[in-house]
Structure 1
Amino acid sequence: MCGIVGLHLRNPALQPRLGELLTQMLCEMQDRGADSAGIAVYGDPRWSPAGHVTVSFVPDAAATGLGSGTPATTAAGALTAALGSAVEVVDAGPTLVAHVPAEVGTDALRAAVLEAYPDALVAGFGADVAVLKGVGHPRDLAEAYGLPAAQGWQGVGHTRMATESAVTPGGCHPYAVGPDQCLVHNGSFSNHASIRRDLVAAGVEFDSMNDTEVGARFVADRLAAGLTVETALKELLTTFDGFYTLLVADSDSFAVVRDAIACKPAVIAEHDDWVAMASEYRALVGLPGIAEARIYEPEPERIYAWTR
């Protein structure tokens, strides 16, 4: 079943409340999937400080506890040794968030993570995004992440009821496989195996057997080729079969699309101060000014996109 939430803030005055609002939204969707939950936060000064690049990682991709099992100070020492320059690490429950000055680069930091922790799952990377993934009840995970205190301009979250792959951090959404990109998905892709084969043949590597990762890798491949998010999603609509609602984000945009049948629920709310999306309206009721918002159900195969 799964639950999707997303919040794009238009009013900078609300940015200190991003985590508080996302926590309310995510926890309202816990009945749609309580085996795992993930969140992508854009612009938090603790996880993604200005002038730095960030890599979010789970030290043991098979871990299922609410903690990473690795103290942040220990990870910082291991990554500093692997990289050869200072790395700061922030504890975010099952996920650790490492960052270095931007001139060091995400590729170097990702390589250091995988050298120090060969069994790690790289959950996300970029200049603006922290991606937190874990197995457990969404409310417990939100607390473990420290999500209520997060700040920023945008967040995307997911609660999962597993149907396509194992209940591990690698099977959790969001899938953030390109720089500052993330994708969450409610539904299933019926032809994901054949698309996976084509991507693997083109040199794309996968972290899981989840069908959602195929969608994320497809979109990331198109974005890397220079397409916009909207154009990449148009290609996805003509390539993927199945029933799905998708929310895709990067540092500058926030987009929603549903398949031609549109049987997976979705609702969008637009306000002067924000744009929000969720699988069910109840996830939106706590947003400030919701009574004045324009609320509607997205149409099949129409791409809804907003930019900063």
Structure 2
Amino acid sequence: MCGIVGLFLKDKSLEPKLGAMLTDMLITMTDRGPDSAGIAIYSGANDKAAKITVQSANPEKDFANLDADLKDAIGKPVLMLVKSTHAVLEVPADQVEAARSALGQLRPALKVMSVGDSLEIYKEVGLPKDVAKRFDVSKMHGSHGIGHTRMATESAVTTMGAHPFSTGPDQCLVHNGSLSNHNSLRRMLAHEGIFTETMNDTEVGAAYLTWRMKNGATLGEALESSLEDLDGFFTFVVGTHDGFGVVRDPIACKPAVMAETDQYVAFGSEYRALVSLPGIETARVWEPEPATVYFWNH
């Protein structure tokens, strides 16, 4: 089941409305996945700083003085913005690995949701409307974003099992479907030094794309390769620092619809997720073809 939404803005004047638009789209897909939800927002890139988004099951304890403790550990200033069970840590761009290592020592219970110049991921168990409200997603701005409502079929209902998954800097993926060769891929990726934290097959799909791009492929090329290397049925919507991509497997049994105007490109598991977008009545609307890669870059 599950529901996917995505929005890539061409018109910068819409960027302050990105969170509100994605929230409406996500809530519309609630009946496709009511057990958990997540959203990835790309915004506020800074050449000199990076963002590490973390999640805690005990935020009052884990986030207390975290910025100060991390500053002491890496010897550089750290900014922290807490949003419910998540916190966004802004660290100097050249201190990302040092900061991640320090976090593992300082707060071992923290889960890293995403790392990158502009990416922030927020996800939790609960109805999409409740998850979006918890993190004030409707007030977020940015250039593009993706969201997912989950109906767990292959693993437990947990925060870490929710989508999106991020396995590389400024990369994230949401998925509707099921991969049949994810265990063999997980072993291969581990041999290549790319590790997954959950048993969710979607995280393996994200890690596969990270591996391909790490070895020089563009997003489009990585998505093309997935059609040969991934077995099963899937619809992927992927985000990178400046890009947005969509691919469906050759059978394409999962529903999908896209719309494009001069202002945006939008994706939804169903058309009803798109009906509140500005100018949708004159948009070019189509069903993405099987085994065909679609991607856009800023």
TM-score using structure 1 length: 0.92
Q: Which residue of 2 aligns with 1:155?
A: 145
Q: Which residue of 1 aligns with 2:85?
A: 94
Query: CA offsets per residue over residues 175-211 of structure 1, 9 Å max, x none?
Result: 1111101110001001111111211233322110000
Mapping for residues 45-64 of structure 1, pairs under 5 Å:
45=44, 51-59=48-56, 63=57
Deviates more, 1:236-245 or 1:90-99: 90-99
- By how many angstroms is 1:93 displaced? 2.3
The size of the alignment, in residue pairs, is: 298
- By how many angstroms is 1:72 displaced? 4.6
- By how many angstroms is 1:35 displaced? 1.2
Q: Structure 1 residues 86 and 121 mapped into 2: Cα distance closer, same or farther (>3 Å)?
A: same
RMSD: 1.6
Is the 8 Å Cα contact of residues 82 and 115 (structure 1) preserved in structure 2? Answer: no
Query: CA offsets per residue over residues 86-124 of structure 1, 9 Å max, x none?
Result: 21111122221111233x332222222222221221110
1:297 to 278, 287, 295: 287
Separation in 1, partners of 2:12, 2:48: 19
Is the 8 Å Cα contact of residues 62 and 110 (structure 2) preserved in structure 1? Answer: no
Q: Which residue of 1 aligns with 2:167?
A: 177
Q: Which residue of 1 aligns with 2:129?
A: 139
Q: Which residue of 1 aligns with 2:232?
A: 242
Is the 8 Å Cα contact of residues 56 and 131 (structure 1) preserved in structure 2? Answer: yes
Q: Structure 1 residues 296 and 106 mapped into 2: Cα distance closer, same or farther (>3 Å)?
A: same
Q: Structure 1 residues 70 and 149 mapped into 2: Cα distance closer, same or farther (>3 Å)?
A: farther
- By how many angstroms is 1:73 displaced? 5.1
Structure 2 counterpart SS, 1:185: strand
Q: In structure 1, what residue type is equivalent to 2:237? A: L
Separation in 2, partners of 1:170, 1:280: 25
1:277 and 2:263 aligned: no
- By how many angstroms is 1:54 displaced? 0.2
Is the 8 Å Cα contact of residues 177 and 233 (structure 2) preserved in structure 1? Answer: yes
Structure 2 counterpart SS, 1:304: strand
Separation in 2, partners of 1:27, 1:78: 37
Is the 8 Å Cα contact of residues 121 and 169 (structure 1) preserved in structure 2? Answer: no
Q: Which residue of 1 aligns with 2:23?
A: 23
Is the 8 Å Cα contact of residues 7 and 274 (structure 1) preserved in structure 2? Answer: yes
Query: CA offsets per residue over residues 35-79 of structure 1, 9 Å max, x none?
Result: 111111001x4xx666420001113xxx3xxx8444755322332
Structure 2 counterpart SS, 1:57: strand
Q: In structure 1, what residue type is equivalent to 2:15? A: Q
Separation in 1, partners of 2:229, 2:60: 40
1:199 and 2:189 aligned: yes
Structure 1 counterpart SS, 2:160: helix
Q: In structure 1, what residue type is equivalent to 2:25? A: M
TM-score using structure 2 length: 0.95
Unaligned runs of 5+ in 2: none
Separation in 1, partners of 2:102, 2:126: 28
Q: Which residue of 2 aligns with 1:186?
A: 176
Structure 2 counterpart SS, 1:31: helix
Is the 8 Å Cα contact of residues 186 and 195 (structure 2) preserved in structure 1? Answer: no
Query: CA offsets per residue over residues 221-259 of structure 1, 9 Å max, x none?
Result: 111111001111111110111111000110111110001
